[in-house]
Amino acid sequence: MFEKQHLTLGEFIIANQDAFQYTSGELSRLLNGIRLAAKVVNHEVNKAGLVDIIGAAGDTNIQGENQQKLDVLANEKFIQTLKNREIVCGIASEEEDDFISINSFDENHQNKYIVLIDPLDGSSNIDVNVSVGTIFSIYRRVTPVGTPVTLEDFLQPGKNQIAAGYIIYGTSTMLVYTTGNGVNGFTLNPALGTFYLSHPDMQYPETGKIYSVNEGNYIHFPQGVKDYIKYCQMEEGDRPYTSRYIGSLVSDFHRNMIKGGIYMYPKSSVAENGKLRLLYECNPMAFLAEQAGGKASDGFGPIMEIVPQELHERVPFFCGSKKMVEKVEEFIQS
Ligand code: AHG
Ligand code: MN
Ligand code: MN
């Protein structure tokens, strides 16, 4: 057995590939691609304050939001890296209007995997030196190998995911992922450019004392959510809870998974499905949460049961410690 501090991500991927039910070598190569892109984007994020590459790029993405240059750059790096490995047949990204089909004119290609990414999550935090992240989600295609991918390959429920994870570009850079066998976290040693296993078998505490929500939207929330927020603030038992909201889902999720807590992005009277995207943000986080013993819900049922209708679909999101998610569901449903 390897010493924890000496086990690198590359070694870990190989050592665990037999536990994976599909052609494991391919998934390992795919994860190695993500590891490489993560290092490249980390380098760019780290120097964001030094060079004049930040700020709005002038484009707006399909959600009508201002794109900042690092979003574009991260998007390019991940897509380039994933395209070049002859494993991925299709990519969909929060920053692209439509999905990308790879090798669609080569009938002999054997690429089986679909990747969905939020290349830069928390982009409003770039200009102010606050942690941002990347979120990824991996599926097997459902259409036959050797044919061009179709929308059907992308619109799979989250329960079909075979791997998911995130990179957090924070005080240190970490890559956290699951292939359905628990959640493991790796920290980048920037001097060596190597990720080391630092957080083996991560577990969401069953309950916690942190709630994360943009309370500026309070008056627009459904009554059940308002009541739950008041419940969090009430002095009773282990309450009041502490409010912590970074505004990068990746960072809020990461903290809550370590300390115990709940992240909420409810629907509101101004955004009927909230803000977060089912395919790029909610499903991968839900897979990680459940693999770590936590829970993810839209207020009424599990996120990963939802059958997506479109690529950029949004969904209300409640995710974190199991008991806390169950509590907010109770409030919403009553
Ligand atoms: P992105 O930067 O990929 O658009 O995602 C931002 C998301 C999420 O990371 C964050 O928690 C949330 O939007 C913040 O939204 P508000 O500013 O509306 O609270
Ligand atoms: Mn995001
Ligand atoms: Mn993004």
The residues pairing with 114 across neighbouring beta strands, listed in sequence order, are 90, 139
Question: Is the dihedral angle over the CA atoms 103, 176, 36, 9 positive or is it negative?
Answer: negative
196-221 confidence digits (pLDDT tens): 999 999 999 999 999 999 999 999 99
- Backbone phi and psi for residue 301, each to the nearest 5 degrees, phi listed first: -165, 175
**Residues by chain with Cβ below 5 Å of ion ligand 3:** 94, 118, 120-121
Number of Cβ atoms within 10 Å of the Cβ of 129: 9
Give the pLDDT of residue 49.
72
What residue has token string 């691609």? 33
Give the pLDDT of residue 46.
87
Give the pLDDT of residue 17.
82
For the record, the structure tokens of 258 come out as: 């370590």
Give the pLDDT of residue 25.
86
Give the largest CA-CA distance in the chain.
Answer: 64
Element (H, E) at 120: strand 113-121
Q: What number does the ligand 1 atom closest to the CA of 118 have? A: 3
Domains of the chain: 4-199 (3.30.540.10), 210-333 (3.40.190.80)
For the record, the structure tokens of 221 come out as: 């929330």
Q: Is 71 in the pocket of ligand 1 (CB under 6 A)?
A: no
Q: Average pLDDT, stretch 117-129? A: 92
**CA 94/CA 98 separation, integer angstroms:** 9
Q: Is 26 in the pocket of ligand 1 (CB under 6 A)?
A: no
Q: Per mean pLDDT, which of 61-65, 85-89, 252-256 is the most reliable?
A: 252-256
Tell whether the model's pLDDT for residue 50 goes beyond 80. no
Share the mean pLDDT of the chain. 92
pLDDT, greater one: 208 or 109: 208
150-165 confidence digits (pLDDT tens): 999 999 999 999 999 9
CA 137 to chain CA mean position, Å: 7
Tell whether the model's pLDDT for residue 54 goes beyond 60. no
Give the pLDDT of residue 1.
46
Q: Is 122 in the pocket of ligand 1 (CB under 6 A)?
A: yes
Q: Which residue's C-alpha comes closest to atom 15 of ligand 1?
A: 247
31-46 confidence digits (pLDDT tens): 999 999 999 999 989 8
Q: Is 247 in the pocket of ligand 1 (CB under 6 A)?
A: yes
Q: CA angle, 115 as apex, 113 and 117 as ends, to 5°?
A: 175
